[in-house]
A and B are shown apart, each in its own frame.
Chain A
Amino acid sequence: MILQAYRLPQGGFIDRNKPLRFRFNGRDLQGYAGDSLASALIANGVHLVGRSFKYHRPRGIFSAGSEEPNALVQLEADARTEPNMRATQIELYEGLSATSQNCWPAVGMDIGAVNNTLSRLLPAGFYYKTFMWPPSWWMKYEHYIRKASGLGVSAHDPDPDFYEHRHAHCDVLVAGGGPAGLGAALAAARAGARVILADEGFQPGGSLLHETTAIDGMPATAWTRHILAELASLPEVSVLTRSTVFGYFDHNFLTIAETVSPHAPRAPRQRIWKVRAQRVVLATGATERPLVFADNDRPGIMLASAARTYVNRYGVRPGNRAVVFTNNDSAYLAALDLHRSGVSIAATVDPRPQANGEIATQVRAAGIRMLSGQVVVRARGTRHVNAAEIMRYENGRTAGAVERVDCDLLCISGGWSPAVHLFSQSKGRLRYDETLTSFVPAASAQAEQSAGAARGVYALADCISDGYAAGSQAATACGLSPAPPLAEPVVDRPSPGTILPLWRVDTDHTRRAKSFVDLQNDVTTADLALAAREGYVSVEHLKRYTTLGMGTDQGKTSNINGLAILAEINAAQIPAVGTTTFRPPYTPVTLGALAGAEVGPHFDPVRASAMHGWHQQAGARFINAGLWKRPQFYPHPGESLQQTINREVLAVRRRAGLVDVSTLGKIDIKGRDACVFLERVYTNRWRNLAVGKARYGLMLREDGMVFDDGTTTRIAEEHFLMTTTTANAVRVMSTLEYWLQVHWRDLDVRLTSVTEQWAAMALAGPASRKVLARVASADVGDDALPYLGYREMDVAGFPARVFRISFSGELAYEINVPADYGLAVWEALLEAGQSSGITPYGTEAMAVLRIEKGHIAGMELDGRTTPADLGLEKMIAADKDCIGKRSLALPALAAADRKQFVGLVTTDGRSAIPRGAQLVADSGHPLPNPILGHVTSTCHSPTLERPIALALLSRGRERYGEKLYAMSPLTGANMQVEVAHHVFYDPEGKRLRGC
């Protein structure tokens, strides 16, 4: 095998001393450091790289950059595989392995290519037309359609790499490191600005890397190195390579996807930069447009600028005998460079009567055959182009005989389109420029300016100057004094002539062949014509109907041609047709990069109490409560879940239990008006609460629904401690702050969240007093610390707040200690309770205890229940207002048939009542069966030795003793239940009073 047969003997921005081995479709090949995968493939004569999306037509390398529609490969295999990677942008590395996509069994022999033969059966909108009937079959069709279409495949194994995000701030962000971008970065940096320059390539420089002209007396590549060296020497300048600015959001927030150099140790694979820039310079360059003619998708057809890039930057020959087809002068540079590199130029073909620029003159001087007033009507060859068919072009029509010119490389250029994607994302307004035949930025919407080719300034010297000016202006706008003006670059480059718009070559001669507008999505001129006939005149509709401009390239090479052809078909003006919306990302971004470091167990932070380590060692199972990890239960070896819960519940009912309640929200309320404030936010009275006493409080939303509940304790005359539920802790704090700061600014109240300051544990059960007394420094008897009493004391030698409150319905104490003492106190209480059979219990047992007692919790506080619904109407003080009270008088909230809080028992005394079951009067009623209510909380009560549940039931309190059915469409359960009072256990509350 001949190594790199298409490598030029010299030249290029590659390191010929560093050969790299790589593998493509199972073949071992060689390239050089500095190659892209595409250039290395071309060096080895590989042109057939993939198959197209719909027709499975052979496709080759079409461009040399991020606009590539065809040469998409599957990079690497297994867990690290990445689909749809543009070969034109992959930096070659030792051992790289890639395969073609969308072909089976192989790119050279692909069964799906039958779609090309059947193509008349696959018109635009084919999926919508064919597979919609019968509707129920769509799911079946979809399965096969997905298999048959699509591009690469994603990895199935967990990603072995990691990713990260990085926030960055700068004075000037420059997107694009070509001539304008380098100029802008340099001018801004010299003015002292903090500059970030991001370039998508693995070598910054953009078009300078394939430029053969001298700048300021040195080769363009040397000039580029010179500028980069100066930028690297400045501490406030960051030059990011392999970094695509892919999103431009509100208020100059831009996102950059960086592929981290494979050589960086311990670094992430990719990184997302989140940049907030004072000013932005968009130096994103321009994309060359293809020309549209029959079979214009054959391998060996490529953009003229790409051919230039391969020859000049990579030192490879994309063909031996070329035809250059262009409607503007830029492609003549390609003709000259190819010619110089030994590629024979069979002809240049130009629809213009006479190519009038100085560059064309140079081509003529080189003795190249120039066909003026002619067009390529068709490419010949299937797996590789082997000839161009050429006709005369007069008054917008083809005419005369067909001339066939043999070639293995067909370079095309339909003009240039500024890459206005980021500009459009920034909400800037575009304008159509007839002279340039392209959309250019018109009015900025943010602190941004475009420079160079991104705004239609194409001459190299002008690009650099435009960049200088933009960078200087951006620095000035940041309040910096501009550096001395940079000298105008001296560039030896003749000026180009004018472009002749040529959106498609339409000729009877080739009517049955396909002329591709969008190469990636296989959208042809015929598809556009069909869509127009069917009424898709809006460009946004056209896009969705034909898929023009969709896919991984988002139509970078097809959008302008597509809408110009639509304009031609509809005899409309291009500006009137307009563009589709440009949305982020500019090029595809991996999900791994977007997720960053917040994956797996680190998706969200975890909150853990001071006793968390103890719970872990005790074998607790944890449950998420918001971000908190709470012990759910502490299983003993051999126990079932139900046995564990029963054991923990009965320990509390019969002896003593200890539960970690650190997660409850705790808010310190201080100030002269603390009491007034509580009266406004709670439904009940607070004025008459004595110091050293706690009270249960109920809080409403302004719409009258119960918001939260908890106990609040008067610690001193002007000092209260409020507790909230775990779930609402943050919301309650925020709401209280809202009322104080927005509406009641005259109140003297200071709120401080002390949730994190205190470790909290509830000691519950008939033996709890005895246990606490063993470690408490103060009397905890009923006289000294009665029900709803509060005292400060030492517990196990640590300063503690002790509250005589109960959630379980038993005699109980809640003990708060500064969090760093939490573990010590927890352990001391367990030790003190050992002889009394103390048992740690989790949230499951806690839930059973509260269901037995009929206390409300999150399931009942669903935002739809009023105090009266929950049987708490007595909590509303008659002689004062509070948040939400007025709403309770609205007719809907006072309706007699509202759902009310009740208990349920199964009539068989055995069957568990499913959570979420619906309550109906007659389980045999035909559907729809009128629903009377639903089950909110359910459990097996070890205390009562039967299943019980809580429910919200229409007119529930009138139904005690009534038999209904609980039906669960999820479990299929259907059982008879009897309505009961919601307090199943100790309704008189003797036990919690503990006397």
Chain B
Amino acid sequence: MMLIKCPHCGARAVTEFTYGGAAEIARPADPVGVSDAQWTDYVYMRDNPRGVHDEVWQHSAGCRRWIAVRRNTLTHDVIATADPGKLPHR
């Protein structure tokens, strides 16, 4: 069972967290101005990498903060956690 280090509460079991999908999915600033294809890409299309993946999780059983988690989907290593948008550059 993975251990995720909440930047606010410390290391906690993954069962305290709720997965929120890929991090850094930018919402188009002007939704009306983008094509259907661009909008669909934003809403539906996600990478599914084998390896390092930046994600957002909510510490739903703890401080309820959403956090960014850099995780290796293959080894389950949690490489880094931070406030959303604050992960170091890869």
Which of chain A's residues 871-929 have a Cβ closer than 8 Å to chain B?
A: 881, 885-887, 889-891
A884 → chain B closest CB, angstroms: 9
- Is B79 part of the contact surface with A, judged by Cβ < 8 Å? no
* Inter-subunit contact A885/B36 (CB<8 Å): no
A738 at the binding interface (Cβ < 8 Å): yes
Return chain A residues, CB-CB under 8 Å to B85: 742, 745
Query: Within B10-48, which residues are at the interface with A (CB < 8 Å)?
Result: 13, 18, 20, 23, 27-28, 31-32, 34, 36, 39-40, 43-44
Interface flag for A164 (CB, 8 Å): no
Closest Cβ neighbor of A731 among chain B residues: B18
- Mark contacts of A722-743 with chain B using CB atoms, 8 A cut-off: 1 yes-contact digit, 0 otherwise: 0000000000001001100111
B44 adjacent to A703 (CB under 8 Å)? yes
Contact B64 A737 (CB under 8 A): yes
Across the interface, which residues of A come within 8 angstroms of B56, CB to CB?
Answer: 738, 742
Tell whether, in the assembled complex, residue B76 and residue A251 are in contact, meaning their CB atoms are under 8 Å apart. Answer: yes
Q: Kindly name the residue among A249, A427, A738, A745 whose own CB sees the greatest number of chain B CB atoms within 10 A.
A: A738
* Contact of A253 with B1 in the complex, beta carbons under 8 Å: yes
* Cα–Cα distance between A422 and B2 once the two chains are bound (Å): 17
CB distance from B7 to the nearest CB of A (A): 12
Interface residue B65 (Cβ < 8 Å from any Cβ of A): yes
Task: Kindly identify, within residues 690 to 708 of chain A, every residue whose CB is under 8 Å from any CB belonging to chain B.
Answer: 702-703
Given known contacts A703-B43, A737-B58, is B32 in contact with A253 (CB within 8 Å)?
Answer: no
The residue of chain B having its C-beta at the shortest distance from the C-beta of A274 within the complex is: B1
Known: A703-B43, A737-B66, A738-B58. A251 touches B2 (CB 8 A): yes
By a CB distance below 8 angstroms, the chain B residues around A251 are: 1-3, 76, 78
The answer for the CA separation of A891 and B78 in the assembled complex, in Å, is 40
A276 in contact (CB, < 8 A): yes
B44: chain A residues within 8 A (beta carbon): 703
Asked if A881 and B31 sit within 8 Å, CB to CB, the answer is yes
A742 touching B1, Cβ below 8 Å: no
* Distance in angstroms between the alpha carbons of A26 and B2 in the assembled complex: 49
Which one of A250, A251, A742, A743 has the greatest number of beta carbons of chain B within 10 Å? A742
Q: A253-B3, A737-B64 are in contact. Are A891 and B43 (CB under 8 A)?
A: no
Q: With contacts A251-B76, A738-B20, A745-B85 known, is A886 near B31, CB below 8 A?
A: yes
Complex partner residue of A702 from B3, B20, B43, CB under 8 angstroms: B43
Q: Does B60 contact A (CB under 8 A)?
A: yes
Which residues of chain A from 340 to 372 have a CB within 8 Å of any chain B CB? none
Chain A residues within an 8 Å CB radius of B58: 734, 737-738
Contact across chains for B1 and A250 when beta carbons are under 8 A apart: yes
**A residues less than 8 Å from B60 (CB atoms):** 734
Complex interface bits, A849-886 against B, C-beta within 8 A gives 1, otherwise 0: 00000000000000000000000000000000100011
- Chain B residues with CB below 8 A from A745, complex form: 84-85
Interface hub of A445, A881, A885 (most chain B Cβ within 10 A): A881
A881–B76 Cα distance when bound, in Å, is 38
Give every chain A residue within 8 A of B18 (Cβ-Cβ): 734
- For window 38-90 of chain B, which residues contact chain A by CB distance below 8 Å? 39-40, 43-44, 56, 58, 60, 64-66, 75-76, 78, 84-85
Whole-angstrom CA separation of A489 from B36 in the bound complex = 75
Q: How far is the CA of A702 from the CA of B75 in the complex (A)?
A: 32
Residues in B whose Cβ lies below 8 Å from that of A885: 31
CB distance from A163 to the nearest CB of B (A): 19
- With both chains docked as a complex, state the minimum distance between the C-beta of A337 and any C-beta of chain B, in angstroms: 44
Assess whether A891 is in contact with B36, with CB atoms less than 8 Å apart: yes
Interface positions, chain A 431-464, Cβ under 8 Å from B, are 445
Q: How many Å from the CB of B22 to the closest CB on chain A?
A: 11
- Bitwise interface map of A from 240 to 279 toward B, beta carbon under 8 Å scored 1, else 0: 0000000001110100000000000000000000001000
Kindly report which residue of chain A lies nearest to residue B40, judged by CB atoms.
A890
Instruction: Give the residues from 735 to 767 in chain A that come closer than 8 angstroms, CB to CB, to chain B.
Output: 737-738, 741-743, 745
> Nearest residue in B to A252 (C-beta to C-beta)?
B3
- Of B27, B39, B64, B76, which is within 8 A of A250 by CB? B76
Please name the 4 residue pairs, one residue from A and one from B, whose CB atoms are nearest each other, closest first: A886-B31, A251-B3, A741-B66, A253-B1
Can you identify 16 A-B contacts, CB atoms within 8 angstroms?
A250-B1, A251-B78, A276-B3, A703-B43, A734-B18, A737-B58, A737-B65, A738-B56, A742-B20, A742-B23, A742-B66, A742-B84, A742-B85, A743-B27, A886-B34, A890-B40
13 other A-B residue contacts (CB within 8 Å) besides A742-B56, A742-B66, A886-B34 = A253-B1, A253-B13, A276-B3, A276-B13, A738-B20, A738-B58, A741-B66, A745-B85, A886-B28, A886-B31, A886-B32, A887-B39, A890-B40
